[in-house]
Chain A
Amino acid sequence: AQSVTQLGSHVSVSEGALVLLRCNYSSSVPPYLFWYVQYPNQGLQLLLKYTSAATLVKGINGFEAEFKKSETSFHLTKPSAHMSDAAEYFCAGLMNRDDKIIFGKGTRLHILP
Chain B
Amino acid sequence: DTAVSQTPKYLVTQMGNDKSIKCEQNLGHDTMYWYKQDSKKFLKIMFSYNNKELIINETVPNRFSPKSPDKAHLNLHINSLELGDSAVYFCASSQRTGDYGYTFGSGTRLTVV
Among B41, B44, B100, B107, which residue has its beta carbon within 8 angstroms of that of A42?
Answer: B107
Which B-chain residue is minimally distant from A48 (CB atoms)?
B101
A interface secondary structure, majority: strand
CB-defined contacts of A98 to chain B, threshold 8 Å: 96
A95 smallest CB distance to B (angstroms): 12
A98 to B30, CA, bound (A): 13
A63 within 8 A of B: no
Among B41, B56, B103, which residue has its beta carbon within 8 angstroms of that of A106?
Answer: B41
Count how many chain A residues have C-beta atoms less than 8 Å from C-beta atoms of the other chain.
Answer: 24
The answer to whether A103 and B43 touch (CB under 8 A), given A43-B90, A44-B90, is: yes
The bracket for how many chain B residues form the interface is: 20 to 34
CB-defined contacts of B43 to chain A, threshold 8 Å: 44, 90, 103, 106
B104 and A45 contact, CB distance less than 8 A: yes
A26 smallest CB distance to B (angstroms): 17
A17 to B72, CA, bound (A): 43
The answer to whether A100 and B105 touch (CB under 8 A), given A32-B100, A43-B90, A94-B100, is: no
Interface residues of B in 11-36 (CB under 8 A from A): 33
Contact bitstring A20-35, B, C-beta under 8 A = 1, else 0: 0000000000001010
A46 and B102 contact, CB distance less than 8 A: yes
A49 and B105 contact, CB distance less than 8 A: no
A11 within 8 A of B: no
B42 and A49 contact, CB distance less than 8 A: no
Interface residues of B in 34-58 (CB under 8 A from A): 40-45, 48, 56
CB-defined contacts of A106 to chain B, threshold 8 Å: 41-43
- Residue ranges of A at the interface with B (Cβ–Cβ < 8 Å): 32, 34, 36, 38, 41-46, 49, 51, 88, 90, 94, 97-101, 103, 105-106, 108
